Structure 1
Amino acid sequence: MNPQPAAATSATGREPGLQLSCGYGTDRGLRRELNEDSFIASDPVFAVADGMGGHEAGEIASGICVRTLAGMPQLATGERTATAAVVQQYLVSADERIRTATGSRAGTTLSGVVVVEQMGVPYWLVMNIGDSRTYRLSQGEFAQVTVDHSEVQELVDAGEITREQAAVHPRRHVVTRALGTGDETEADYWLLPVEEGDRIMICSDGLNAELTDDHMFRILSTVGHPQDAVDALIQAALRSGGRDNVTVIVVDAKNVMNDAGTDTAPRPATGVEDEDTLPRTQVLDSAEVDSDGLDSTEVDTEELPEAPGAVQPADAPVSAEKPADDPETGNHSATDHEGRHDGRN
């Protein structure tokens, strides 16, 4: 993994205040020729995108997604002023760019957090579209925050199968929502007040497909440094089979000044419509995906960020971190050995 120490990150001009430390890594796995995942890990944006489509189209989709997010001004200013509505504008822009670049033949999931403040209180603004996941370890409680947009999740929600059955279901990799496919582009959002000692973990499904929640919890609760935790999680996934690309980000929160007595239960973020996980009219299980037009967005992503060192080498595992003022993204490519549009098995 060639790990490098993770450095603490903090918002510009906020001393004392919330301090974040972060570790991240990605690996193509043991059965994939290349890596389709992309990620961004730079305060206040931490997210993982899992491309799908095969023949390097997944790399294009996930890479466009994280590079579009890297254009958010908060990464340059360090301010924690983003909202769900603002983030959604960037996702709509990413969706449009992906469809233009790939002809709607590829797509990407996205899951992660944007650190925001409301009335001086820091929050995790959790976002999700597709089946990548965001988890939270807080005050000894480990839980998945996001809800997968997938066929098997809908079956679980309907009480037709159990979570255990979903883990081995033949259509467990079929997602019902993604960016770039001409389908539903609205992400789900939650606001969670940041608590002292919080640990956020974001991953592509190459991790949770190999490890149980209990296994992940044991690693996250016993390995102290976020970079060491990332490395341990990825190595555990590889030992369990490594059947897919695996990408992990771990973010720790310290020096939290939150005296508002706010409820720590996840709640929907305002500014976007609440969505459930009912079946969509089209799922990513076909090489042919219709392309529907989107309204134009005010987000200017004509020139996507191309910071030196931002794109990691295509064939090497990645495990590193850069200072907070150098937005970090990594993207890699992978072929789809089965030729399925969802690109995963």
Structure 2
Amino acid sequence: MTARWCTGAGATATGDRPRNEDAFLSSGPVHVVADGMGGHLAGAAASSVVVEAFRALTDLSSVQPDDTVLAVARAQEGVERLSERVGGSSGSTLTGAIAVEHDGQPWWMVINVGDSRVYAIEGGSLSQITVDHSYVQRLVDRGDITAEQAEVHPERNIVTRAIGDGIRDFDAWLVPARPGLRLVVASDGLMKALSDARIASIASLAGEVSLAAGRLVDAALDADASDNVTVVVADTLHADTDRSADPYPWRVWGVGRDEDDTTVTGRRREPV
């Protein structure tokens, strides 16, 4: 079901960095981006481990939300094992959109850990779905600074949550799979280089997904991107759903363990 109503493609570039520590996967129902933590050991290896944790979902004819929960758990455990092997701390962000079936309806399950982002674009208008796990976002939430001030804050690169930091919870939202909905999944290198208005303009006018992803990366490079830049663009082609009138019914999901500490389970909280 899921692979038939969506399509996606990605692009990546090193930018003004010695190596690319980003990774992405855009195949079938899975469209994710991971940004290896630059201040940690094996950042590139960590981001690769994260995206590979989702590869098993690409061959499924129907992905359930719990499949995504388990994939996040695999990513967390994989990065933790990597840290043990390298004898230090490795980490990565994770963000993306998984085409899932829930209550018999098609949805995008948008997931996030860290400060990479997922945007929704409809009718040329852009809205940010994910919420950054960052120090400056905390300041914005408290009302200490504005969103505009956060973009130039000297500590804007401090991430407060990452895959591999031992925290099992992650954020997720169920977004109705409305025909014409375009999602832009990106590492923070894109947002450092381009404004939301510029991202919306390029993504809305570029046409098919591979062209849109490539043009966003090229625009970031033209703007002298100081970081790795990775973008995945995913489109809803068509979807039979009776939830198209709902704006964004968000639900937060998390990952926990049974008492014997061996079985990973999902737990759903109330809508927020």
- TM-score band, normalised by the shorter chain? 0.7 to 0.9
Given that 2:34 and 2:94 are in contact with CA atoms closer than 8 Å, whether structure 1 keeps it comes out as yes
The equivalent of 2:211 in structure 1 is 228
Higher relative contact order (CA 8 A, sep 6+): 1
Given that 1:210 and 1:241 are in contact with CA atoms closer than 8 Å, whether structure 2 keeps it comes out as yes
Structure 1, gaps ≥5 residues long: 1-9, 13-17, 274-294, 300-345
The equivalent of 2:95 in structure 1 is 111
The equivalent of 1:248 in structure 2 is 231
Higher strand proportion, which one?
2
C-alpha distance in 1 between matches for 2:20 and 2:243: 43
Given that 1:177 and 1:185 are in contact with CA atoms closer than 8 Å, whether structure 2 keeps it comes out as no
Given that 2:34 and 2:47 are in contact with CA atoms closer than 8 Å, whether structure 1 keeps it comes out as yes
Shift of 1:220: 1.1
SS in structure 2 of the partner of residue 209 of structure 1: helix
Shift of 1:42: 1.3
C-alpha distance in 1 between matches for 2:85 and 2:36: 13
C-alpha distance in 1 between matches for 2:45 and 2:130: 24
Question: In the alignment, is residue 27 of structure 1 matched against residue 13 of structure 2?
Answer: yes
C-alpha distance in 1 between matches for 2:191 and 2:83: 28
Question: Taking structure 1 as reference, are residues 269 and 157 closer, same or farther at Cα in structure 2, changes over 3 Å only?
Answer: closer
SS in structure 1 of the partner of residue 231 of structure 2: strand
C-alpha distance in 1 between matches for 2:255 and 2:126: 27
The equivalent of 1:319 in structure 2 is none
Question: Taking structure 1 as reference, are residues 217 and 135 closer, same or farther at Cα in structure 2, changes over 3 Å only?
Answer: same
Shift of 1:225: 1.2
Shift of 1:199: 0.4
Letter paired with 2:194: L
Given that 2:173 and 2:251 are in contact with CA atoms closer than 8 Å, whether structure 1 keeps it comes out as yes
Question: Taking structure 1 as reference, are residues 78 and 48 closer, same or farther at Cα in structure 2, changes over 3 Å only?
Answer: same
SS in structure 2 of the partner of residue 47 of structure 1: strand
Question: Taking structure 1 as reference, are residues 225 and 164 closer, same or farther at Cα in structure 2, changes over 3 Å only?
Answer: same
Q: Could you say which structure has the larger radius of gyration? A: 1
Structure 2, gaps ≥5 residues long: 266-272
Aligned length: 261
Question: In the alignment, is residue 126 of structure 1 matched against residue 110 of structure 2?
Answer: yes
Given that 1:91 and 1:185 are in contact with CA atoms closer than 8 Å, whether structure 2 keeps it comes out as no
Alignment of 1:250-265 (within 5 A): 250-261=233-244, 263-265=246-248
Question: In the alignment, is residue 41 of structure 1 matched against residue 40 of structure 2?
Answer: no
SS in structure 2 of the partner of residue 137 of structure 1: strand
SS in structure 2 of the partner of residue 216 of structure 1: helix
Question: Taking structure 1 as reference, are residues 260 and 176 closer, same or farther at Cα in structure 2, changes over 3 Å only?
Answer: closer
SS in structure 2 of the partner of residue 136 of structure 1: strand
The equivalent of 1:189 in structure 2 is 172
144-153 or 44-53, larger mean C-alpha shift? 44-53
Given that 1:94 and 1:179 are in contact with CA atoms closer than 8 Å, whether structure 2 keeps it comes out as no
C-alpha distance in 1 between matches for 2:91 and 2:29: 24
Letter paired with 1:159: G
C-alpha distance in 1 between matches for 2:142 and 2:77: 33
Question: Taking structure 1 as reference, are residues 194 and 222 closer, same or farther at Cα in structure 2, changes over 3 Å only?
Answer: same
Given that 1:190 and 1:267 are in contact with CA atoms closer than 8 Å, whether structure 2 keeps it comes out as yes
Question: In the alignment, is residue 199 of structure 1 matched against residue 185 of structure 2?
Answer: no
The equivalent of 1:57 in structure 2 is 42
Higher helix proportion, which one?
2
